[in-house]
Amino acid sequence: MSIHTSTFSFLSPSQFEHSSWEIITHSSHNYQLPNRRSTFSRAVKRLTFRKIGTAAQTIRRAFKYDLYTRYIAGEDGIGRPGKMSLCRKIRCFLGCWTWIARKDIVLELDDGRALVVLWRAPEDPKNASRRRSLRSVIVDNVSRVASSFLDSFEPDMIKKRKRELKSAHDKAVRSALGDRVDEMMYIHLLATAPLCQGQGLGGQLLDCAGELADIQGRAIWLISSGLQNVPFYNAHGFETVGEMVIGNTDRKWGRGPIYCPLMVREPTVSP
């Protein structure tokens, strides 16, 4: 199975925030996982601190050969992927810790060998309670300080490419979604460990995220890391509505432009 991702990079979520779609937390009583035991052989669970190590490893391995990730990591795209730096490994762990500590919607299967990160719609009423939460303030600040520290070790090329990514990302979202983005939920990450791919785990998590959105009558959007993932997302109700392009002007990148479809799944159940 192909690797599927949204606009994930080895950044903590707080560092990748945008003013129009701030990350929204939830508490355990704010949503209930759909009962999929009768449909699927494995039960979807929330990711816990105990499984952070496995989840971080899943992310590292799932995106090892992904051109999108290799570009943001500062590679030239030629030959085999380079060895992952310690900073990138720490970012994977830090991202998982932040999502759980901040109580984002992080669902997993097979003890963290497949996971999806779903962010609430910016207009969700729980935004206000999140901003007032002391827990969220502490977690955000810890994550932000740690990310800034890791940034200091990154070469200028990576910093330049991350700025390019953010600019291209914001432009694609404005063009394809406009103000509607405030009403939509967002899949930040979908990853399956290579040895577990082809078993339907990613599709099961994607469908579960869709059901959670359907409960609220909301659409979901994501940005795929490549055109090769489009058939997979189409099979789960997503349609391409826009596109983000990176790597088209970087002379040190040897693989040409990277086309990343922006896709939307409309709700199938009315609120």
- Report pLDDT digits (tens) over 66-115: 999 999 999 999 999 988 999 999 999 999 999 999 888 999 999 999 99
Question: Which is nearest to 242 in space by CA: 264, 258, 268?
Answer: 264
3-8+43-265 topology per CATH: Aminopeptidase (3.40.630)
Beta strands in 137-271, from DSSP E residues, in sequence order: 185-192, 220-223, 238-246, 258-265
User: pLDDT above 90 covers what percent of the chain?
Assistant: 73
Residue listed under structure tokens 């935004």: 127
Angle value at C-alpha 221, between 44 and 197, nearest 5 degrees? 45
User: Which of 6-10, 104-108, 241-245 is predicted with the least confidence, judged by mean pLDDT?
Assistant: 6-10
- Rounded Cα distance, 181 and 24, in Å: 14
- Report pLDDT digits (tens) over 157-191: 999 999 999 999 999 999 999 999 999 999 999 99
CA torsion 53-56-58-59 (nearest 10°) is 180
Q: Report pLDDT for 135.
A: 84
Residue listed under structure tokens 């998590």: 205
Q: Report pLDDT for 128.
A: 58
pLDDT of 50 over the 50 cut: yes
What residue segments make up the domains of the chain, in order of their start?
A: 3-8+43-265
Q: Report pLDDT for 133.
A: 80
